Copies of this chain bind each other. A is one copy, B any other.
Amino acid sequence: MKELTKEQQAELERQISLYQNGVVETIPENELRDKVERSIQTGMPLKIKLGLDPTAPDVHLGHTVVLNKLKQFQENGHIIQLIIGDFTGKIGDPTGKSTVRKQLTDEDVKVNAQTYFEQFGRVLDMEKVELFYNSEWLTPLNLEDVIRLSSSITVARLIERNDFSNRIATGKPISLHEFFYPLMQGYDSVALESDIELGGTDQHFNVLMGRHLQEHYGKEKQVVMLLPLLEGLDGVDKMSKSKHNYIGIDEPPNEIFGKTMSIPDELIVKYFNLVTDLPLEEKQKISAGLADETLHPRDAKVRLARTIVSMFHGEEAAAAAVEHFQTVFQKGALPEDIPSVEWKGASEVAIIELLVGLGMQSSKSEARRMIKNGGIRIDGEKVLDTEMLVSVTDGIIVQVGKRKFVRVKV
């Protein structure tokens, strides 16, 4: 290869520092540099792979960590390969024991892929994305191919995988077919000749498998880039649908805004870094402001929430969400800790039923009186109609008088 020109050298350094920012580990770093360098010299884009589970198409902020990284590659002319893991989805759980991994039809898979497509479109330019279904190359494999594939890996190495060694330690059975899931994911990289695969740090083993198998099949090995996991609203567990601690990117602006305001202060900087697309210097300024206390956490959070809403719903919606939040919560001076009360009744209910049902009023007549006196608010808005029907959704705030608040949990 020829030497790089000065301009090319500068471009190489710019891309590398952009891609490396926020990444936990790049395996190995020198190959990332080699690939980007070659791409600059030849003008050939790199192929950046992301594998997707076909069963859980609800995209939340946790996904945006990797989507933002993909966007950086895309904006520099590289090709994004999204792979829907429909092969495993269509098999379901062959033991029939798990209801979670139920068998998907072709129709289910298409619908789920469409959902990904629409939601990812809020971050990526989907016209330039290459979409694949891995059943295309996994369905034709026969027993002989499978034996060659599995001859590439030892049982000990598979057991090393964290999940498997935990299960062996606790005596929980591992069915042999489970060993195939990482192999299939790895084989996707062989089929697509990916240059780089992205994944969360919890995907360490699976994404390295692609590199391993490419070598076994005599292909150029992909570089693996591991991204940090985003904690959910509870500040403890990884954000996920099953933990109910997520912010869906498809949720309404006020919902995203309110949920973002509820994250623990310690996560503010991490959310800025991983979720938002603010320039690096801006992120550093906010982090410094919080550290030396020139920036109040509440103000930082408003900035964060506004930025996130703006990413998925645009600037206008973001401004409206700020306005709404300030009207309802700040101007009304909501207390810091509002008790949650679970609502098990109908999702549409008369205001009087709701007040009594939540235990905020002892009788219907008392409730009716309080409404007439203007003492009842829902999400900060006064209720004056005693016959009003309330749509009970998770998180609505019911207020009686000046000091009695309840957050409804559905």
Contact = CB atoms under 8 A, between A and B. Distances in A.
Contacts of A179: 150, 155, 176
A168 interface: yes
A148 B180 CA distance: 11
A88 to B, nearest CB: 9
A138 B143 contact: yes
A173 interface: yes
18 contacts: A91-B144, A94-B148, A138-B143, A139-B142, A139-B144, A140-B142, A141-B143, A143-B146, A150-B176, A150-B177, A151-B175, A151-B176, A154-B174, A155-B155, A155-B176, A155-B179, A156-B173, A156-B174
A85 to B, nearest CB: 13
Interface in A99-154: 138-148, 150-154
A183 B177 CA distance: 12
Which residue, of A87, A155, A180, A184, has the highest number of chain B Cβ atoms within 10 A? Answer: A155
A183 B143 CA distance: 12
Given A151-B176, A152-B175, A154-B174, 17 more contacts: A91-B144, A91-B148, A94-B147, A138-B143, A141-B143, A143-B146, A143-B180, A146-B146, A147-B177, A147-B180, A148-B177, A151-B175, A152-B176, A154-B173, A154-B175, A155-B164, A155-B174
Tally of this chain's copies:
2
A143 B139 contact: yes
Nearest to A179: B176
A38 to B, nearest CB: 31
Given A175-B154, A177-B151, A142 B141 contact: yes
By secondary structure, the A interface counts as: helix
Q: Using C-beta atoms within 8 Å of the partner chain, give the interface range for chain A.
A: 35 or more
Contacts of A142: 139-143
Contacts of A164: 155
B91 A180 contact: no
A94 to B, nearest CB: 4
A358 B139 CA distance: 65
A91 B141 CA distance: 15
Nearest to A97: B151
Interface in A157-178: 158-159, 164, 168, 173-177
A294 interface: no
A176 B148 contact: no
B146 A95 contact: no
Contacts of A173: 154-156
